[in-house]
Structure 1
Amino acid sequence: MTPSQALARAVAIAGGQSATARICNKSQSAVWKWLQSERSLPAEHVLAMEAATGVHRHLLRPDIYPISLGTGADAPGADSAPVMPTEPASVVCDQPGKAQRAKVAA
């Protein structure tokens, strides 16, 4: 689903362009322009639309909310691996540390 398709879906769930305009505190004509130009939903309205319609933020703006950063069990891709490891990886260095150099020099 493209972001413009997700926006159209969110508008339909919200109850139309006027209802979407009220959610976003914009005019109905602004919503109409978003739909006609197939533009993405402006970033400042993504979270309000997600809360009002249940259309996930990743679907509305994947450029801002990549699927790998989704949170919660209901997020798309929630079963995917986390972006950052939960435990720090061990650091491997091929140069001796200060303490090791002191032992070698002695």
Structure 2
Amino acid sequence: MEQLRNYLNTLKPYQQMIFAENCETSIGYLRKAISVSQNLNPILCVQIEKNTQGKVTRQALRPHDWQRIWPELIG
């Protein structure tokens, strides 16, 4: 989640809102999820990775179980 926090902090508030909308969520939801270290839905993780052009990875968002969700990313 630290990658996501750092990425969002590089964006201006209006850019954060646009980013969240492109990920089909809200900036409020993302900020809350970051603050409580919530596991994000795998679909949202893919959207975040896509909309950050890989700067925030699925592996970073789900460090404890990404191998079970996306085994094709192993190795």
Name the CA distance, whole Å, in 2 between partners of 1:19 and 1:40.
22
Q: Percent identity?
A: 22
The corresponding residue for 2:40 is 41
In the superposition, relative to structure 1, how do residues 45 and 22 fare at CA in structure 2: closer, same or farther (>3 Å)? same
Name the CA distance, whole Å, in 2 between partners of 1:10 and 1:42.
18
The corresponding residue for 1:57 is 58
* Bigger share in helix: 2
Name the CA distance, whole Å, in 2 between partners of 1:45 and 1:33.
14
The corresponding residue for 1:29 is 28
Q: CA RMSD in A?
A: 2.8
If asked which structure has higher relative contact order (CA below 8 Å, sep 6+), I would say: 2
Name the CA distance, whole Å, in 1 between partners of 2:40 and 2:7.
10
- Tell me the CA shift for residue 46 of structure 1: 0.8
TM-score relative to the length of structure 1: 0.47
Name the count of aligned residue pairs: 68
Provide, for residues 1-31 of structure 1, a one-character-per-residue CA deviation record: whole Å limited to 9, x for no partner.
xxx2122134346x35423321221222212
TM-score relative to the length of structure 2: 0.61
Give ranges in structure 1 of 5+ residues lacking alignment: 72-77, 79-106
Give ranges in structure 2 of 5+ residues lacking alignment: none
Q: Which has the larger radius of gyration?
A: 1
The corresponding residue for 1:70 is 73
One-letter identity of the residue aligned with 2:26: S
SS in 2 for 1:7: helix
